[in-house]
Amino acid sequence: MERRSLVAGNWKMNGLAASVGFVEDVADLLREAPCDLLICPPATLIARIAGRGLPIGGQDCHAAEAGAHTGDISAEMLRDAGAEAVILGHSERRTDHGETDAQVCAKVEAAWRAGLAVILCVGETEAERDTGIAKEVVGRQLAASLPGGARSDRLTVAYEPVWAIGTGRTPSLGDIGEMHGFIRDQLDRQVGADEAARIRILYGGSVKPANAGEIFALEDVDGGLVGGASLKAGDFSAIARVAG
Ligand code: PGA
């Protein structure tokens, strides 16, 4: 099954008005990207960046459509600001804000209701990998945070081992390939073989120009979710170029 790769940049809590030109820089560097691209800036920049040549996503949303939730942003608001997608269940949300699988699941439903595509993040901690339960943890996250009704046009899964995020460390290629194969098998059981074969599974965690090529070449890896390296137009473009 041919799946078009996706390279998504997660800016996290980085970026001020001065970062807006980044999008034109990337669009210039990547006249004909061999893959789909997505930029997920902080919510404050979505409206400024949308419409400048690259698809835009949010980094989180609330499960409710509107209401008394000070400081939160709904999926409808992201969409209204110009976003087409949203990252949900990122480990920094799970850790910093105590997000549970059930909450992530409700957010995915809210995003779909609003017409946003979702990048759903799963991944084990270092202790979980060391004790040999990485697949069990990822399988449990996927089972509990993915609602019914998943389709490849509105769901991408990102495997992001927590210990690889922002650390410069990555799992071995064998371990990445094995986990992606495991996720594909579990999707097969959860959403059926046809959709499971079409859903993209991204790798995330210290992706950079030097390692992107070998990671993206793995069979069930369909691109990457890129944090730190997505903040530099040259690095992000170099990563996207090898995601054919
Ligand atoms: P990193 O972050 O590329 O800086 O490791 C990835 C992510 O958190 O999505």
Choose one of 159, 163, 206 to mutate for the ligand 1 pocket test, by most ligand atoms within 8 angstroms of C-beta: 206
Q: How does DSSP assign 129-149, residue by residue?
A: HHTT-HHHHHHHHHHHH--S-
Exposure string over 93-112, b if 16+ CB within 10 A, otherwise e = bbeeeebebebbbbbbbbbb
DSSP state of 239: H
Spell out which residues line ligand 1, taking CB within 6 angstroms.
Answer: 10, 160, 165-166, 204-207, 225-229
pLDDT given for residue 101 in this prediction = 98
Strands 200-204 and 155-159: parallel
Distance of CA 91 from the midpoint of ligand 1 (Å): 10
The answer to whether 11 touches 39, Cβ cutoff 8 Å, is yes
- Measured by CA distance, the residue closest to atom 3 of ligand 1 is 227
Ligand 1 centroid, distance to 212 Cα (angstroms): 13
DSSP H helical ranges for 6-90: 21-29, 43-49, 75-81
CA distance 161 to 171: 8
pLDDT of residue 55: 94
Task: Identify the CA nearest to 204 among candidates 105, 87, 36.
Answer: 87
Query: Is 97 a catalytic site residue?
Result: no
Report pLDDT for 35.
94
Q: What confidence score (pLDDT) does residue 92 get?
A: 98
Measured distance CA(31)–CA(11) in Å, rounded: 22
Distance CA 141, CA 93 (A): 14
Catalytic residue among 76, 99, 128, 160: 160
Enter the pTM of the model. 0.97
> What's residue 75's pLDDT?
98
The residue annotated as part of the active site, out of 62, 90, 128, 180, is 90
Half-sphere exposure of 92 (CA within 13 A, CB side): 13
- Ligand 1 atom 7: residue of nearest CA: 227
**Which atom of ligand 1 lies closest to the CA of 12?**
8
In 198-242, DSSP assigns E strands to 200-204, 223-226
Low-confidence ranges of the chain (pLDDT < 70): none
User: What does the pLDDT read at residue 244?
Assistant: 78
Instruction: Give me ligand 1 centre to Cα 240, in Å.
Output: 15
Residue 124 known to be catalytic: no
Beta-carbon count within 10 A of 47 CB: 13
Q: Measured from the CA of 230, which atom of ligand 1 is nearest?
A: 3
DSSP state for residue 201 in the 8-state scheme:
E
Q: Are 8 and 40 in contact (CB under 8 A)?
A: yes
Tokens representing 155 are 């769901």
CA of 67 to the centre of ligand 1 (A): 31
CA distance readout (Å), 229 to 4, 12, 108, 201, 208: 21, 12, 26, 19, 6
Atom 2 of ligand 1 has which residue's CA nearest to it? 227
Q: How far apart are CA 199 and CA 149, in angstroms?
A: 12
The closest alpha carbon to 170, from 219, 136, 218, 204, belongs to 204
Q: 30 in helix, strand or coil?
A: coil
Looking at every residue in the chain, the average pLDDT score rounds to 96
